[in-house]
Amino acid sequence: MSQPHSHIVIIGGGPGGYEAALVAAQLGATVTVIEEHGLGGSCVLTDCVPSKTLIATSNLMAAMEGTRDLGIRFDHDVPGDAAGSGRAPVSVSPASVSHALADAPRVYARIRRLAQAQSADVGMRLSREGVRVIDGRARLARPGVVAVGDEEIRADTVLIAAGAHPRELPGSVPDGERLLTCRQIYDLPDLPAELVIVGSGVTGAEFASAYQAMGSAVTLVSSREHVLPNEDTDAAMVVEDVFRRRGMRVLGRSRAMAAKRTADGVEVVLQDGTVVTGSHCLLTVGMVPSTAGLGLAGAGVEVDERGFITVDRVSRTSAPGIYAAGDCTGVWMLASVAAMQGRIAMWHALGEAVQPLRLAHVAATIFTDPEIATVGASQQDVDSGKVLARVVKLPLATNARAKMDGFGDGFVKLFTRRNSGIVLGGVIVAPRASELILAVSLAVEQHLTVDEIAHTFAVYPSLTGSITEAARQLMQPVEPM
Ligand SMILES: Cc1cc2nc3c(=O)[nH]c(=O)nc-3n(C[C@H](O)[C@H](O)[C@H](O)COP(=O)(O)OP(=O)(O)OC[C@H]3O[C@@H](n4cnc5c(N)ncnc54)[C@H](O)[C@@H]3O)c2cc1C
């Protein structure tokens, strides 16, 4: 039974906080959200929304680079430039061949506009639901009391959704001009001519892909052997191969020790003494929780050795009446996970029936070109024996739609339980894999079998045809072990 007269105070207005606020208001609680920088949080204002808006531009530019293979020529193109036209190539000056150019000030202005509009939408939604929003920095004052400025607010339940911020390399403080975090890059007056990106995790790989497509010369510095070391290796190798083919300099096994500004650019010093130079350096070396000054210790809220708030699967912290959600818990740094943790916290706090957080069903995407989308069990789970599964991987190079669209980099991979054929997970590497993965997510969530997927109609020609084809291949009986 819900407890509608509770007063819920939420610290942080990102997806962990505002989605929780909407649920609590819907259940009849009195809700206050305290946010110091802007509703929508870093997700909307600096991280997820801005980076995906940037990538919308870079994807279009990458697609335009491929248009000649598809038989498209622009006004300034020289006939005969296209392969296979049958005409002798004409010697042309570079100026007579058109290339798409990124207009950085417009790109960045669009990003800021879109982020502000999204933030305003969140504000309107909260106000429609009767949620009080306070602009300020909150801290836990005493049990059941949150302070913001001079005001003290009594709370039956507190939700901490304070997020995280970019980690800095020791001794290399970002200046917002040459040495940048991912939150400062949209303030540049122009595109970086030579961008050195330190860190080849999800954020580093996404920015490397985007800036390469927009025309920057990109060097990606990875401390591990390959880019995206925590992802499906087959998928990471496809993306790394595409990066290199398009001219990106990828430095594997290269730990950056320091990055510093020079008179007209940057220098990044690697562990082996090599110095990598560029016009700008983007540091993407992880995130740290934004929990300093919240008064956690005084309130009895435990954190782990990296400072992330420890929570259980219904978002409870170690302190009674205090929940936490999102990046400040370090559970899985995704907006969808933050939002779900926040909603679960409210359902639990307000006495509703609640399903604990199930990370095995989370769908995620790395928005490189091509995208990598994953859900459920992973290749690592299978290789380590944690999950007993059959695996099929179908390259998209043989898919008719992929051929028509002019790309061949990517695959569909499915993991299914050995005997029952129930789908346990999958990986899709393709343009718009973020949209395609829903079919596999549904299968995982609903415990569908490969037979059920194989009997489902896919459109011909389509990329989803490779999902049903992979399922058909998995229908064959299992060889006795
Ligand atoms: C470059 C980048 C790209 C990303 N892209 C994606 C993506 O495509 N998809 C995806 O799912 N995830 C993406 N993420 C991750 C996603 O942005 C986060 O998982 C998400 O923002 C977490 O939400 P949150 O509510 O926990 O925190 P946040 O969105 O960080 O919000 C926390 C808010 O709390 C406020 N706050 C902190 N302390 C206080 C205080 N004491 N008082 C008042 N307010 C306070 C902050 O101002 C902030 O607004 C990306 C992250 C980065 C860095």
Q: What string of DSSP letters covers 268-285? A: EEETTS-EEEESEEEE--
* C-alpha 249 to ligand 1 mean position (Å): 30
Mean pLDDT for 181-188 is 96
pLDDT higher than threshold 90 for residue 187? yes
Task: Indicate if ligand 1 lies below 6 Å from the C-beta of 32.
Answer: no
Q: Which atom of ligand 1 is nearest to the CA of 16?
A: 25
Q: Which atom of ligand 1 is nearest to the CA of 166?
A: 53
pLDDT of residue 73: 82
Task: Indicate if ligand 1 lies below 6 Å from the C-beta of 11.
Answer: yes
| Beta strands 7-11; 157-160: pairing state | parallel
pLDDT of residue 281: 98
Task: Indicate if ligand 1 lies below 6 Å from the C-beta of 42.
Answer: yes
Q: Which atom of ligand 1 is nearest to the CA of 18?
A: 25
* C-alpha 240 to ligand 1 mean position (Å): 27
* C-alpha 284 to ligand 1 mean position (Å): 15
Q: Is 43 buried (19+), middle (13-18) or exposed (0-12) by CB count in 10 A?
A: buried
Mean pLDDT for 146-151 is 96
DSSP 45-112: HTSHHHHHHHHHHHHHHHHHHTGGGGT---TTSPTT-STTSSSPPPP--GGGS------HHHHHHHHH
Mind listing the pLDDT tens digit for each residue in 83-142? 444 343 333 344 444 577 899 999 999 999 999 999 999 999 999 999 999 999 999 999
Mean pLDDT for 134-154 is 96
Arithmetic mean of pLDDT over the chain = 93
Question: How does residue 170 score in pLDDT terms, banded at 50, 70 and 90?
Answer: confident
Q: Using alpha carbons, select from 341, 365, 389, 437 the residue that is nearest to residue 10.
A: 341
Mean pLDDT for 350-355 is 96
Q: Which atom of ligand 1 is nearest to the CA of 332?
A: 19
Question: How does residue 81 score in pLDDT terms, banded at 50, 70 and 90?
Answer: very low
Mean pLDDT for 169-186 is 94
β-partners of residue 10 are 33, 159
Task: Indicate if ligand 1 lies below 6 Å from the C-beta of 137.
Answer: yes
| Beta strands 266-270; 275-278: pairing state | antiparallel
- CA 227 from centre of chain: 15
Mind listing the pLDDT tens digit for each residue in 11-29? 999 999 999 999 999 999 9
Nearest residue CA, atom 45 of ligand 1?
Answer: 12
Q: Are 337 and 327 in contact (CB under 8 A)?
A: no
In single-letter form, the type of residue at position 187 comes to D
User: Dihedral (C-alpha) 131, 135, 137, 141: value to the nearest 10 degrees?
Assistant: -50
pLDDT higher than threshold 90 for residue 79? no
Per-residue tokens: 469: 């084809």
Task: State what percent of residues in the chain have pLDDT above 70.
Answer: 93
Mind listing the pLDDT tens digit for each residue in 434-448? 999 999 999 999 999
pLDDT of residue 67: 82
In single-letter form, the type of residue at position 404 comes to M
Taking the C-alpha atoms of residue 377 and residue 91, their distance in angstroms, rounded to an integer, is 53
Task: Indicate if ligand 1 lies below 6 Å from the C-beta of 203.
Answer: yes
Question: How does residue 3 score in pLDDT terms, banded at 50, 70 and 90?
Answer: low
Taking the C-alpha atoms of residue 183 and residue 37, their distance in angstroms, rounded to an integer, is 13
Q: Is 106 buried (19+), middle (13-18) or exposed (0-12) by CB count in 10 A?
A: exposed
Q: Which atom of ligand 1 is nearest to the CA of 38?
A: 49
- Residue 5, CA distances (Å) to 26, 160, 391, 419 in order: 12, 20, 51, 50
Q: Which atom of ligand 1 is nearest to the CA of 182?
A: 1
Nearest residue CA, atom 52 of ligand 1?
Answer: 47
Taking the C-alpha atoms of residue 237 and residue 378, their distance in angstroms, rounded to an integer, is 15
Q: Which atom of ligand 1 is nearest to the CA of 17?
A: 25
Q: Using alpha carbons, select from 51, 77, 54 the residue that is nearest to residue 213.
A: 54
* C-alpha 291 to ligand 1 mean position (Å): 13
Q: Using alpha carbons, select from 185, 30, 48, 40 the residue that is nearest to residue 104.
A: 185
pLDDT of residue 74: 78
Which DSSP category does 332 fall into?
A: -
pLDDT of residue 88: 38
* C-alpha 436 to ligand 1 mean position (Å): 25
Q: Is 138 buried (19+), middle (13-18) or exposed (0-12) by CB count in 10 A?
A: buried
Q: Are 275 and 267 in contact (CB under 8 A)?
A: yes
Task: State what percent of residues in the chain have pLDDT above 90.
Answer: 87
* C-alpha 441 to ligand 1 mean position (Å): 24
Taking the C-alpha atoms of residue 73 and residue 81, their distance in angstroms, rounded to an integer, is 9
pLDDT of residue 96: 43
* C-alpha 26 to ligand 1 mean position (Å): 23
* C-alpha 40 to ligand 1 mean position (Å): 8
Q: Are 426 and 412 in contact (CB under 8 A)?
A: yes
Task: Indicate if ligand 1 lies below 6 Å from the C-beta of 44.
Answer: no
* C-alpha 203 to ligand 1 mean position (Å): 13
The region that residue 244 occupies, defined by phi over 0 for left and psi between -120 and 50 for alpha, beta otherwise, is: alpha
Instruction: Cite the beta strand spans of 227-344 per DSSP E.
Output: 249-251, 256-261, 266-270, 275-278, 280-283, 287-289, 322-324
Question: How does residue 46 score in pLDDT terms, banded at 50, 70 and 90?
Answer: very high
pLDDT higher than threshold 50 for residue 227? yes
Task: Indicate if ligand 1 lies below 6 Å from the C-beta of 119.
Answer: no
pLDDT of residue 171: 83
pLDDT of residue 68: 79
Taking the C-alpha atoms of residue 213 and residue 245, their distance in angstroms, rounded to an integer, is 12
